[in-house]
Amino acid sequence: MKRILVCTDGSVFSQSSYHYAAWLATRLTAAVEVLYVTDERSQAAAEARNFSGSIGVDASDALLNKLVALEHEKAKLNHQRAKHVLQEAQQVLSSHGVETVNLIHEVGSLVDRFDEFEAHADLVVLGKRGEAAAFASGHLGANLERIIRASHKPCLVTSRQVQPIERLLLAYDGSPSCQKMLTFLVESPAFQGLELYIVTVAKSAEDQTAIAHIDEAKQQARIGGFEPVCCLIEGNPEIAIAQYAEDAHINLLLMGAYGHNRIRHLVIGSTTTQILRSSHIPVLLFR
């Protein structure tokens, strides 16, 4: 893993993502690319407007010219803001020992432009919420879920508060995404020397499939040099995992993303989404 992509909008959650990206990059000896995308769709909309039908041709032209001039001025300010945000990211990353930092400023929509930059990355880092975090504390960022669902790479979703990563929790259910996560966990130098906890959530403690899953994860973790604390817990997955993480003072949660079908998500929601919403620690997701 040699290239980490950080998506930023300059918000407080993005600022915390720089610290977590730096932690991973230094442990993996990876380069970091920081991507800021300016959305200038409002400028294009202003230039395409026509008010002549409602206020007359002359008044329409005058109003349109003012709107276009305003949008051009806004574009200049947005460019300056992008420069400031990227410089701040570089400063934080460099101060934490990241040797290679590439800054990227693009115009358009982050969701629309994401694929071309993700293709060259090994891992994606982004904040759980964006610029509207203060007004939507119970929700995820507008682009977050779309990006995670579309991404083919591991995604680290960062929390607002930065804390040292000492204890890892792997939520393991035997799914292909969890198997990928476990392989990455035991093979990556990023997690060596850290405490590892593994949980499997089941409807009952006698669930033989769940018992087999936790034993499987334990054996593979031991092969990788860990001495994991393993636990089979009962209950609703999003509630049980979140409670276990809090009780064990976990600093980073690792889990598979969106393991259930789309119909289930539409009817009762997704475990992944619910955990992301409620979690106060960063979450590393594998598809």
Predicted confidence band at 123 (pLDDT cuts at 50, 70, 90)?
A: very high
Can you tell me the distance from the alpha carbon of 232 to that of 207, in angstroms, rounded to the nearest whole number? 9
With beta carbons less than 8 A apart as the criterion, state whether 85 and 77 touch.
no
Token pair belonging to 151: 């991404």
Single residue among 108, 135, 157 that ends a domain in this structure = 157
Q: Report the alpha-carbon distance of residue 132 to residue 136 in Å, rounded.
A: 6
Q: Virtual CA dihedral for 24, 26, 32, 36, nearest 10 degrees?
A: 60
Are 172 and 263 members of one domain? yes
Shared domain for 8 and 141, answered yes or no, is yes
| 144 within domain boundaries | yes
Torsion, Cα 131 134 139 142, to 10 degrees, reads -20
Say how many domains are in the chain: 2
Is residue 8 domain-shared with residue 143, that is, in the same domain? Answer: yes
84-118 in b/e burial notation, b at 16+ Cβ within 10 A?
A: ebbebbbebbeeeebeebebbeeeeebeeebeebb
Any idea what the CATH number is for the domain that residue 215 is in? Answer: 3.40.50.620
CA distances from 14 to 89, 140, 141 (A): 9, 13, 11
Q: What's the domain range around 85?
A: 3-41+77-157
Report the range of poorest mean pLDDT among 61-65, 75-79, 236-240.
61-65
Helix axis angle, 41-48 to 57-95, nearest 10°:
170
37 and 176 within one domain: no
Which of 157, 177, 203 is at the close of a domain? 157
pLDDT digit string, tens, across residues 222-252: 999 999 999 999 988 888 999 999 999 999 9
pLDDT digits (tens, 9 = 90+) for 32-48: 999 999 876 544 444 44
| CA 191 to chain centroid | 18
pLDDT at residue 95 above 90? yes
DSSP 191: G
Instruction: Kindly indicate the confidence band of residue 169, based on its pLDDT and cuts at 50, 70 and 90.
Output: very high
Residues 196 and 119 in one domain: no
Q: Which structure tokens are listed for 94?
A: 């460099």
Q: Are residues 150 and 182 in the same domain?
A: no
